[in-house]
């Protein structure tokens, strides 16, 4: 039985992309570095990093910085569910949280005529204390709103990238 989700525990964002569900899934996962925005707000490495998503159960979402033996890796997530082309779930850990402080990001791809509805849910914030720096000092409703806007920016970038494929 699914446990009820506490109020303020999640942000949900949806966007329509004008490609099939399998193509939307592929673009999201295989081309993540191409559509994921650059800059301090979205990446640790700002403009000099590469984002990777290993396409499998147990795969990692990570950012790499540098080249050769000086390459550094920062792992943000691990794939908990891998069901192409319908959905995947990541265990998510922001840069400023302890290893046991984890949230989840679920991304679903639903066909909708010639387009696909991509829905992203970032949940589990009740596991992160209210005064944690990841919450930026915001009360729960304001934090969840900002989190939704952040993911909305990223999904808008996904849509723009997918539109260039058509």
**Residue 46 pLDDT:** 61
Q: Residue 53: beta bridge partners?
A: 61
Q: 24 Cβ partners below 8 Å, 6+ apart?
A: 17, 85, 109, 116, 118, 162
Residues 101-138: pLDDT tens digits?
A: 889 999 999 999 999 999 999 998 877 777 777 777 78
Rounded to two decimals, the pTM is 0.90
**Residue 13 pLDDT:** 97
Question: Looking at the predicted structure, is the pLDDT value of residue 1 above 50?
Answer: no
* Residue 125: HSE in the Cβ half-sphere, 13 Å Cα cutoff: 26
pLDDT category of residue 166 using cuts at 50, 70 and 90: low
Q: How far is CA 99 from CA 26, 94, 95, 149, in A?
A: 29, 10, 10, 25
Quick check: helix, strand or coil at residue 162? helix
**Residue 7 pLDDT:** 58
Q: May I ask the CATH architecture of the domain 10-42+81-163?
A: 2-Layer Sandwich (3.30)
Pairwise CA distance, residues 66 & 53, whole Å: 18
156/132: higher pLDDT: 156
Pairwise CA distance, residues 149 & 122, whole Å: 12
Q: Which residue's entry shows tokens 């191409």?
A: 34
Mean pLDDT in residue range 142-165? 93
Pairing status of strand 60-65 against strand 87-92: unpaired
Residues 4-62: pLDDT tens digits?
A: 545 567 999 999 999 999 999 999 999 999 999 988 888 876 668 999 999 999 999 99
Question: Looking at the predicted structure, is the pLDDT value of residue 149 above 60?
Answer: yes
Q: 164 Cβ partners below 8 Å, 6+ apart?
A: none
Question: Looking at the predicted structure, is the pLDDT value of residue 66 above 70?
Answer: yes
Nearest Cα to 138, choosing from 4, 48, 39, 11?
11
Q: Are 17 and 161 in contact (CB under 8 A)?
A: no
């Amino acid at each position: 039985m699914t446990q009820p989700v506490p109020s303020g525990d999640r942000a949900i964002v949806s966007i329509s992309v004008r490609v099939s569900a399998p193509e939307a899934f592929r673009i999201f996962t295989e081309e993540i570095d191409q559509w994921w925005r650059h800059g301090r707000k979205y990446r640790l490495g700002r403009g000099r990093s590469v984002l990777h998503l290993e396409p499998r159960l147990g795969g990692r979402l990570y950012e790499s910085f540098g080249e050769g033996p000086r390459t550094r890796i920062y792992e943000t997530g691990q794939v908990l569910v891998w069901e192409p082309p319908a959905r995947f779930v990541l265990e998510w850990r922001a840069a400023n949280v302890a290893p046991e402080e984890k949230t989840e990001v679920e991304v679903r791809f639903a066909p909708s005529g010639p387009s696909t509805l991509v829905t992203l849910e970032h949940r589990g914030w009740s596991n992160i204390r209210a005064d944690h720096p990841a919450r930026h000092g915001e009360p729960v409703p304001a934090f969840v709103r900002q989190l939704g806007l952040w993911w909305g920016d990223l999904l808008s970038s996904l849509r723009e990238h997918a539109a260039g494929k058509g």
